[in-house]
Amino acid sequence: MIVEEDLVNVWQGLIETYAEQLAMGILIQDGQDILFSYQAEKLFPAASTIKLGIALYIAEHEVDTSKTVTLKTRVAGAGVLHLLTEKSTWQIAELIQLMLSVSDNTAANALIDYYGMATMQSWLHHRYPSANVQRYFMDFHSDKQNTLSAHDATRMIADIFKPKTGSNQHVYDLMKDSLANQQFREGIFASVTEKDIPQLQLYNKNGTLDGIYHDVGRIVYQERNYNFAIFTEQNTNSQPMIGQQFLQQFGAAFFVKILS
């Protein structure tokens, strides 16, 4: 389609504009087809996008998400559990929701600890080769890094949205609901809101660290599904927030073309 060809040209122009300031890994799917790809296999520090993998591990290994987990430690950064100190025991379902919708680091660490980092890492890396869960969130003493590529992040989104009929269907529904209620939408979705556009549904999980800005998710519009993963890491001399700026322009170009 002409619209898609024009869009690809705009995206390529944006990449050329930002190439000296950012490392980028991008994959955009239109249904099962690849709409756009740029260094999609490149490995990046995952930041909070690896929380998708944590949730997927639980979905494949846990039926009863009403089980409770007692928090052993609390960490700051994203989330609210480090502030809610009067309650220490939470259901697994609640921790998944907090981990995905407000990117709660304490919730993610509690789930990693409950299921076992080594076990989770083995399953994730086998299923998504670029995915590595090798340290807890906010553990600045570790010399290891959680990693992911745009290619495998897009596969994670596709797996979350595959039709499910088994006993774990409710866990996948919980993940989708959490992504639909994501609180951090200042990346690719910054230029739009669902309430203003009929038939538009947005799902995403972002990931940020110093110099890193990623956005992963799904856009549903008029019965078409677009899965996406955009990873950015700024160079040493880049201006602050350049990755977020790139994502916003990338997303704005998409919505201008698709919604027109």
Q: Is the pLDDT of residue 237 over 80?
A: no
**Residue 150 confidence (pLDDT):** 98
Q: Is the pLDDT of residue 253 over 90?
A: yes
pLDDT digits (tens, 9 = 90+) for 182-200: 888 889 999 888 887 888 9
**Are the beta carbons of 226 and 30 closer than 8 angstroms?**
yes
Three-class SS string for 24-87?
EEEEEEECCEEEEEECCCCEEECHHHHHHHHHHHHHHHCCCCCCEEECCCCCCCCCCCCCCCCC
- pLDDT grade for 260, boundaries at 50, 70 and 90: confident
Q: Is the pLDDT of residue 235 over 70?
A: yes
Domain of 104 in residue numbering reads as 2-259
pLDDT digits (tens, 9 = 90+) for 114-173: 999 999 999 999 999 999 999 999 888 888 999 999 999 999 999 999 988 777 889 999
Q: Is the pLDDT of residue 2 over 50?
A: no
Q: Is the pLDDT of residue 8 over 70?
A: yes
Q: Is 130 helix (H, G, I), strand (E, B) or coil?
A: coil
pLDDT digits (tens, 9 = 90+) for 18-58: 999 999 999 999 988 999 999 999 999 999 999 999 999 99
pLDDT digits (tens, 9 = 90+) for 61-111: 988 999 999 998 878 777 678 777 778 899 999 999 999 999 999 999 999
- Burial (CB count within 10 angstroms: exposed 0-12, middle 13-18, buried 19+), residue 152: buried
Tokens 């704005």 belong to 252
Closest Cα partner for 220 from 187, 178, 189? 189
Closest Cα partner for 231 from 40, 51, 87? 40
CATH number for the domain spanning 76: value is 3.40.710.10
Position with higher pLDDT, 201 vs 237: 201
Total domains in the fold of the chain: 1
**Residue 1 confidence (pLDDT):** 46
Q: Is the pLDDT of residue 178 over 90?
A: yes
- pLDDT grade for 3, boundaries at 50, 70 and 90: low
